[in-house]
Amino acid sequence: MSEITIAIPSHDRGENGPKWMRELLDSLKQQTFQDFDVVVSDQSKNDNIMNVCKEYDFDFTYVKYQGNVPCENINVALSECTGRIIKIMFSDDVLVTDTALEKIHDEYDDPECKWLFTGFCALKDGSYDNCKQARWAERTLEGNNHLSSPSVVSFLNECKEEFDHELKLLLDVDFYHRMRWKYGMPHFIWPVLVANREHDDRISSDSTSKYDCVVEHPEGNWMMNSKELHYVHQKYPEFFINQKYPDEN
């Protein structure tokens, strides 16, 4: 069993799908820490992603996901993970340093570390920009997401949770909410280790998501989907009474 399993949910994005997958796998190939295996759950209707995987000699588990629900595709990948630590990487994102997995792995030497966020940046037109430290903010569950995408999170396999396939814009913060409720505040490390690729086909982009309401907050407002907001309010009524986690009591 590997120390880390890299869980990669992927789907076809035309010529960009194979290209971006190679960039991700190249960033894994360059890692100083190599005690990992790779799980790919592929939502593509063709074999382009599978053929890219065949170009690399990693310990691969490849699954062809037959559905059309991004959250389910993530869950299929997670279900195949056997490593002590699970590191999600979306197929359009990359690790930005060759010591990324080493730094993540070292943090789990602390027995109190159940899950972890790293620093992150944006990847656009081949350049890294807008470096940030992940942090927990007020009203995270309602979309005030300063933790970034699931590509920035890792967690112990024994703490694994599934993503809620009813959600799209709030799929990540819903997952983070349940993780914190069960396992407490995550660990945070500053080094920027992950780059989130900016493009029009990502889940949070205006072209693929329906933003139809504004959530108001003293530190700044944000756009959200009213149906998803209603869903999480109905899902977690106890939390919305006092807005506190067990580690805050």
Angle value at C-alpha 200, between 194 and 205, nearest 5 degrees: 80
Stronger pLDDT, 225 or 14, i.e. the higher one: 225
What confidence tier does 11 reach under pLDDT thresholds 50, 70, 90? Answer: confident
pTM for this predicted structure: 0.96
| The pLDDT of residue 201 is above 80 | no
* pLDDT the model gives residue 206: 47
Task: Give the amino acid at 152.
Answer: V
What is the pLDDT confidence band of residue 210, given thresholds at 50, 70 and 90? confident
pLDDT of residue 69: 82
> What architecture (CATH level 2) is domain 4-198?
Alpha-Beta Complex (3.90)
Residue 106: predicted pLDDT = 98
Lowest mean pLDDT across 89-98, 136-145, 181-190, 202-211:
202-211
The whole-angstrom separation of Cα 168 and Cα 201 is 13
pLDDT bin (cut points 50, 70, 90) of residue 246 is: very high
Torsion angle, CA of 133/225/11/56, rounded to 10 degrees?
10
- pLDDT > 70? residue 95: yes
Mean pLDDT computed over 131-146: 97
- Confidence bin at 14 (pLDDT 50/70/90): confident
Structure confidence at residue 67 (pLDDT): 85
Residue-wise DSSP of 189-226: EEEEEEEEEP-TTSTTSTTTS---EEE--TT--EEE-H
Among the listed ranges 10-14, 161-165, 170-174, 219-223, which one has the minimum average pLDDT value?
10-14
Average pLDDT rounded to a whole number, residues 214-221: 93
